[in-house]
Amino acid sequence: MSLSDIEIYAFVGPAGTGKSHRATHVAKQNGIDYIIDDGLVISHGRILAGRSAKSEINRLRAIKRAIFEYPDHRDEIVRFLTKNPPKKLMILATSDGMIDKIITRLGLNPPVKTINITDIASPQEITMALRERREKKQHVVPAAKAQIQQNFAGKLVSQIKGFFRGRDKNEERNTIVKPLFSFNGKVTIGEGAILEMCRNLIELGDHVRKIREIDLHTDEDRIELSIEIDLNLGTRSALSIAKTLQRKVRMGLSYFTGMEIRQVNIRVNEIFL
């Protein structure tokens, strides 16, 4: 099989109406092997590939993660589906437009069937789900708690029983995640804070003798950096040290700010033996 052979099912409904809560049951009813929900590929309560949008620390990055806008995330999912193609795949989304974006980015077929949340949930159940989301600011993931804890380090997670029981114990339970981006208002990170983070990340080690200059450019949620330093060489090469610093700065800023790190350029001014 290839990606063009996979039958795509769309499960559509506004955020907070209970799609993830019912996803496993809908998949079982339609003989669907895999579910794509918020950036994850899930099967029978197990996370098989991807990174969840619910693990992001701000709403903008969460939206981009959910529609596979980040190339490394998209490529991971495409590689997994190419290597392990299911016969049927269901995509959860808040609108038909979101479904179109996801199938376009992953190179999948248009849906053979679209299931709306109103087809399987009563107005009362949808209203109750929306109230729960609004008041408790919690999100459901159709996966086992143990796996969620591995993928959502530092997040508040708890387990709930699913609506429908199955033979697979993982299928009987969903997991609630309370993400850090559940807030009202706007969060901004000043350039001074980013520069201070960068300085601390660079100075964690014995090789940097002096930081001469840090040139920072930010664009929405993207960062570009050019850093000029003096090095104490020791037993390592300048290239090896620069690559290590580049990786450390990229990973550290990505983790602490939640922003996309587009470039980290390291320029070595002087070397001291």
C-beta atoms surrounding 21 within 10 Å: 20
Q: What pLDDT does residue 157 have?
A: 42
- Per DSSP, the three-state class of 31 is coil
Q: What pLDDT does residue 124 have?
A: 84
Q: Do residue 121 and residue 203 come from a single domain? A: no
Q: Which residues contact 162 (CB under 8 A, 6 or more apart)?
A: 21, 24, 25, 142, 171, 172, 173, 174
Residue 169's pLDDT band, with cuts at 50, 70 and 90, is: very low
Taking only the tens place, the pLDDT of each residue in 105-120 is 999 999 999 999 888 8
Q: What are phi and psi of 157, to 5 degrees?
A: -125, 150
Taking only the tens place, the pLDDT of each residue in 66-90 is 899 899 999 999 999 999 889 999 9
Taking only the tens place, the pLDDT of each residue in 198-216 is 999 988 777 899 999 999 9
Question: Quick one: average pLDDT of 12-41?
Answer: 87
Q: Do residue 157 and residue 221 come from a single domain? A: no
Q: Please name every residue paired with 199 in a beta bridge, in sequence order, or none if there are none.
A: none
Report the C-alpha gap between 162 and 170 in whole angstroms: 10
Q: Do residue 144 and residue 222 come from a single domain? A: no
Domain membership of residue 66 as a residue range: 3-178
Which domain-ending residue is among 157, 178, 199? 178
DSSP string, 206-229: SSEEEEEEEEEEEETTEEEEEEEE
Which domain-ending residue is among 178, 203, 224? 178
Q: What pLDDT does residue 176 have?
A: 54
Under 8 Å between Cβ of 174 and 160 = yes
Q: Do residue 225 and residue 103 come from a single domain? A: no
Q: Do residue 18 and residue 111 come from a single domain? A: yes
Question: Quick one: average pLDDT of 175-191?
Answer: 58
The mean of the pLDDT values for the chain is 79
Quick one: which of 33, 50, 37, 42 has its CA closest to 98?
A: 37
Half-sphere exposure of 184 (CA within 13 A, CB side): 3
Under 8 Å between Cβ of 246 and 266 = yes
- Per DSSP, the three-state class of 85 is coil
Q: How many structural domains is the chain composed of? A: 2
- Per DSSP, the three-state class of 266 is strand
Q: Which residues contact 235 (CB under 8 A, 6 or more apart)?
A: none
Let me know the angle formed at the C-alpha of 64 by 187 and 41, rounded to the nearest 5 degrees.
Answer: 125
Taking only the tens place, the pLDDT of each residue in 232-249 is 888 889 999 999 999 999
Let me know the angle formed at the C-alpha of 28 by 25 and 33, rounded to the nearest 5 degrees.
Answer: 125
Does any domain span residue 239?
yes
Taking only the tens place, the pLDDT of each residue in 117-146 is 888 888 888 887 777 666 656 566 656 544
Q: What pLDDT does residue 60 have?
A: 77
Q: Do residue 197 and residue 252 come from a single domain? A: yes
The separation between the first and the last C-alpha atoms of the chain, rounded to the nearest angstrom, is: 58
pLDDT at 149 over 60: no
Share of the chain above pLDDT 90, in %: 36
Question: Quick one: average pLDDT of 160-164?
Answer: 41
